[in-house]
Chain A
């Protein structure tokens, strides 16, 4: 889909799952997008604002989906989550910009974000960024603040398989991703 008037550029990147995952900006074209397309129907969207995203989704009749955003698109994703009602199943924020330096996110009423929200930071990311993770955890009611070990700012590049593992589980199970769904019996 193309909608230059709304600053929207969307691309259906494929995927085999029944669930629809909207990936903002570069996240869709990354190693994470490639991996998630094994399990989900992935749609990559380039937007500047939450309003643009809402317009594009409405225009193309996309409902009941999860949203994955990276650092630069996290503010728009959170703003969209505040306005989206029940259509947004989960929100995933990968290394969002430090909230202390990002006025847009800081001023958002994060307490009103309703969907389960996964916020990821690398353990080697800068201190201010990780402090943001704690703020998100404190303010977003259903936030799951998760550290990806031995990853820096670019978690996708540093630990793609680890990132995929946790994001996939979250997209599949939402709140229930906190416990394993695989059979753990050694000799069933």
Chain B
């Protein structure tokens, strides 16, 4: 089992978090705190590397103090300079609302700058974020699917080519630099719904799942594996990644106290759909905090699960306890789901920065070494197995 440190570049002072609604006004930002936040984030990334985390990850999000990485490529480039060993994981760019050719160019550059350590996951985004760039929320699933395939082509086609798509048209594409990893860096697809998991399997992408409780993750990974087999391939364990919150303390009692105060991003997530974010369908807080089922677009059961509206378990610490307890939880989680990589966030509302930092360090020093042997499988490579070109 591997672990990824989710580096959020959060704004370090509490004032802007008092705002309810999306977007958060920039008037609440002080330049000196902005500078400190970036320094702290990069220091944490360096520590994660030294502690042995396998990946250091960041994600594209917009207009929020809690996730100040609107361009994860820029942040990833900075990470590549301070993280010397771990992979740089972009989990990921919001491909539904960006120029796919530009994204391919940036991924190739980052693979070059990181010495061939890049991992990328294609994200659709949350509905409020679609408003940032004026993308029609109803089109975003199809845009994400097309953009993902175009990015793969842009990374792999050896000759200049054109693309006549549904949402994207480019008459001349020829991406330089060529990625160091061939045929392309390991690629994942956000798979928080049945449709997305099906698509990921059909196109030989790894699968990314976030925040669902274990039994629902197992449904998704089970479906994904079936679809992979139907498409003639079998994913390696570290082609399944799960993003979660973790709280680790010296004792279970201390961890339980953290759990009681933690309310994760549920409140923030709900806040995203107030203000201008109210233009899109509002989430149900209980569905965010405690999702009960995964469905399909057709039966509406997931009701925008992979749009961030419902279905995510944002409300709790998925892994919480003393190091012994968390190791046991992770072993059981892996047994149930087959997930091979945990992308772990140690922050979140309700915890002090000191608690989050202690949790991070305890996970790295006491948990990570002991989960190595769980589900040990072959390492992912930029192998032909993950090639989606010419599919």
Instruction: State which residues 145-186 of B face A: CB under 8 Å.
Output: 146, 149-150, 153, 157-166, 168-169, 171-172
Contact flag A149-B149 (CB < 8 Å), given A177-B171, A178-B171: yes
Q: Are A145 and B160 in contact (CB under 8 A)?
A: yes
Contacts of A177 in B (CB 8 A): 171
Q: Choose among A130, A137, A159, A179 the residue that contacts B160 (Cβ–Cβ < 8 A).
A: A137
Is B390 part of the binding interface, using a Cβ–Cβ cutoff of 8 Å? yes
Query: Known: A123-B149, A127-B390, A178-B172. Is A147-B160 also a contact (CB below 8 A)?
Result: no
A-B contact list, 24 entries, CB within 8 Å: A123-B149, A134-B157, A134-B159, A137-B159, A137-B160, A138-B159, A144-B171, A145-B159, A146-B163, A146-B171, A147-B164, A149-B149, A149-B150, A149-B164, A149-B165, A149-B166, A162-B165, A162-B166, A165-B164, A165-B169, A166-B164, A177-B171, A178-B171, A178-B172
Task: Flag if A147 contacts B390 (CB, 8 Å).
Answer: no
CB distance from B61 to the nearest CB of A (A): 27
Asked if A163 is at the interface (CB within 8 A of a chain B CB), the reply is yes
* Chain A neighbourhood of B172, CB < 8 A: 178
Question: From residue A88, how far is it (CB to closest CB) to chain B in Å?
Answer: 21
Report if A163-B159 is in contact (Cβ < 8 Å); known contacts: A123-B149, A144-B171. Answer: no
Cβ A147 vs Cβ B171 within 8 A: no
Contact B164 A137 (CB under 8 A): no
Q: CA of A146 to CA of B171 in the docked complex: distance in angstroms?
A: 7
**Is the pair B162, A146 in contact by a Cβ cutoff of 8 Å?**
yes
Q: What are the residues of chain A within 8 A of B164 when measuring CB–CB?
A: 146-149, 159, 162-163, 165-166
User: How near does chain A come to B110, taking the closest CB pair, in angstroms?
Assistant: 25
User: Bound complex: CA of A149 vs CA of B151, how far in Å?
Assistant: 12
Per the 8 Å Cβ criterion, residues 96-147 of A in contact with B are 123, 127, 130-131, 133-134, 137-138, 144-147
Docked complex Cα distance between A156 and B111 (Å): 38
- How big is chain B's contact interface, by range? 10 to 19
Which residues of B130-150 have CB atoms within 8 Å of chain A's CB atoms?
A: 146, 149-150
State the CA gap A85–B165 with chains docked (Å).
34
A141-183 interface bits toward B, Cβ cutoff 8 Å, 1 = contact, 0 = none: 0001111111000000001001101100000000001110000
Q: Are B171 and A134 in contact (CB under 8 A)?
A: no
When C-beta atoms are compared, the residue in chain B nearest to A128 turns out to be B390
Chain A residues in 8 Å Cβ range of B171: 144, 146, 177-179
Closest B residue to A179 by beta carbon equals B171
Which residues does chain B contribute within 8 Å of A162, judged by CB atoms?
164-166
Q: Report Cα–Cα, A144/B164, bound state, in Å.
A: 12
Contact, CB under 8 Å: A147 / B146: no
Chain B residues, CB < 8 A from A131: 390
Beyond A123-B149, A134-B158, A144-B171, whether A149 also contacts B163 by CB under 8 A is yes
The answer on a CB contact under 8 Å between B161 and A146 is yes
Minimum CB–CB distance for A125 against chain B, Å? 9
The answer to whether B159 touches A147 (Cβ under 8 A) is: no
What residues on B are CB-neighbors of A133 within 8 Å?
Answer: 159, 161
Partner of B390, one of A130, A145, A165, A178: A130
User: A-facing mask of B371-391, CB < 8 A → 1, else 0?
Assistant: 000000000000000000010
How long is the Cα–Cα vector from A173 to B150 in the complex, in angstroms? 25
In residues 312-335 of chain B, which contact A (Cβ within 8 Å)? none
Q: Which residues of B contact A178 (CB under 8 A)?
A: 162, 171-172
The residue among A123, A144, A159 with the most chain B CB atoms within 10 A of its own CB is A123
- Which residues of A have CB within 8 Å of B169? 165
